[in-house]
């Protein structure tokens, strides 16, 4: 008798456990669902640094020793202002020598021109003399030998004139060469002075007075303050639709408590092949005037504003490929797994649902245990239950 009672109790316990499991497996679930949002700003995130569109690392074209420095870190300089000079003693001597050569060549031109005028006068005289002698020969007033000598003298004078004219051309060519050499030496002398190429702020100076600088070595780093912007790197998967003119928000690492405003000024034509990121340049309209090149900045670009949208967490999408996937929805009080299409992706890991939601259905906001086609389910009405949490019976 006692054994029968024990067996009966065990049977009842097993039945109760099985019933409990069956009830737990089929009991209606309460799941968080996605709620529609209005005037939703689609923002994408990019991490970048403060840079400048116009930045010049300038230095001398020739090597030398610094003998004057007229600017330093933090100075504002106007275009054309003298920043530094290097010792130019040797080059000044070359310029003086070139000036003397120009004067010498100019005098040589004058000498050649005078010789040409003399040769021309002599040639005219010999031509006239020859004409008279030839006329007298016809009247047999002079000998044949004298007439031939007069004609030869005219030919010699003509040749001398050609030589004199050629010497003028040669002297002028030497004069042009000397003058070109002077221009070249003056240009090199000018390269011993370093001037600001534009209105700029001096970011850094690399050398001190008396130091030797090499040709092409950077001495000053200059930026145009009005061209400072933020270079942000945006994930290619979220960068579609970013365009010039779109509003942006900037948070500098040195001022994390403040949010500044800006505009997309340029979208790079070449992406980072390794990190698969797109370069986006943002100008800041209300950032502090004091900037620090290379400072880290967070950028949020608003690429669209949706009048009404269902923004589904990516973690609630199964087999998501960037455009399509599968969602769990509550339709007529029961769960269903349906294919869907998606649009914009945001910086906080949500995706716009574009198509695939039946009328009256609600999207499950989080994938939890117990989700099964046809199971009874209801939307969680608790505060915050629209986007987070898991299913519960």
| CA 2 from centre of chain | 91
CB 231 within 8 Å of CB 218: no
pTM of structure: 0.72
β pairing state of 29-31 and 377-379: parallel
Assign domain 45-53+228-304 to its CATH superfamily.
Efflux pump adaptor protein, beta barrel domain (2.40.30.170)
| CA 180 from centre of chain | 39
Residue in the block written with tokens 């100019």: 106
Q: What does the pLDDT profile of the chain (393 residues) look like in tens digits?
A: 566 555 555 555 555 444 444 444 567 888 999 999 999 999 999 999 999 999 999 999 999 999 999 999 999 999 999 999 999 999 999 999 999 999 999 999 999 889 888 888 887 887 777 777 677 767 776 677 776 677 787 788 778 778 888 888 998 999 999 999 999 999 999 999 999 999 999 999 999 999 999 999 999 999 999 999 999 999 998 898 999 999 999 999 999 999 999 999 999 999 999 999 999 999 999 999 999 999 999 999 999 999 999 999 999 999 999 899 999 999 988 999 999 999 999 888 899 999 988 888 999 998 888 888 889 988 886 544 444 445 555
Instruction: Give the Cα separation of 203 and 222 in Å (integer).
Output: 6
- Report the CATH number of the 55-87+196-222 domain: 2.40.50.100
Parse the chain into domains and list their residue ranges: 45-53+228-304, 55-87+196-222, 91-190
Residue in the block written with tokens 């000598």: 149
Using only C-alpha atoms, the chain has a radius of gyration, in whole angstroms, of: 46
CB 124 within 8 Å of CB 131: no
């Amino acid at each position: 008798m006692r054994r029968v009672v024990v067996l009966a109790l065990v049977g009842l316990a097993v039945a109760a456990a099985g019933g409990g499991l069956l009830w737990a497996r089929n009991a209606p679930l309460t799941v968080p669902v996605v709620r529609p949002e209005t005037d939703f700003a689609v923002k994408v995130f990019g991490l970048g640094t403060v840079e400048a569109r116009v930045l010049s690392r300038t230095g001398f074209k020739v090597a030398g020793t610094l003998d004057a420095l007229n600017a330093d870190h933090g100075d504002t300089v106007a275009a054309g202002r003298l920043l530094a000079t290097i010792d130019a003693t040797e080059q000044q001597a070359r310029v003086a020598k070139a000036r003397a050569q120009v004067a010498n060549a100019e005098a040589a031109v004058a000498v050649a021109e005078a010789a040409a005028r003399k040769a021309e006068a002599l040639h005219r005289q010999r031509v006239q003399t020859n004409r008279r002698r030839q006329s007298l020969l016809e009247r047999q007033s002079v000998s044949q030998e004298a007439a031939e000598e007069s004609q030869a003298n005219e030919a010699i004078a003509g040749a001398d004139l050609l030589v004199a004219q050629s010497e003028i051309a040669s002297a002028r060519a030497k004069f042009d060469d000397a003058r070109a050499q002077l221009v070249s030496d003056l240009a090199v002398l000018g390269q011993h002075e370093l001037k600001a190429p534009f209105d700029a702020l001096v970011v850094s100076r690399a050398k001190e007075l008396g130091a030797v600088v090499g040709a092409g070595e950077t001495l000053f780093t200059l930026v145009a303050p009005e061209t400072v912007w933020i270079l942000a790197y945006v994930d290619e998967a979220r960068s579609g639709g970013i365009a010039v003119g779109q509003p942006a928000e900037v948070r500098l690492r040195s001022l994390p408590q403040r949010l500044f405003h800006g505009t997309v000024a340029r979208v790079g034509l070449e992406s980072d092949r390794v990190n698969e990121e797109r370069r986006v340049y943002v100008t800041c309209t209300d950032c502090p005037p004091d900037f620090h090149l290379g400072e880290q900045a967070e950028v949020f670009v608003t690429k669209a504003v949706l009048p009404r949208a269902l923004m589904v967490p990516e973690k609630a999408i199964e087999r998501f490929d960037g455009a399509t996937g599968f969602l769990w929805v509550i339709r007529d009080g029961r769960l269903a797994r349906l294919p869907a299409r998606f649009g914009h992706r945001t910086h906080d890991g949500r995706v716009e649902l574009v198509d695939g939601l039946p009328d009256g259905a609600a999207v499950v906001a989080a994938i939890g245990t117990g989700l099964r086609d046809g199971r009874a389910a209801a939307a969680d009405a608790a505060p915050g239950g629209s986007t987070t949490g898991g299913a519960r019976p």
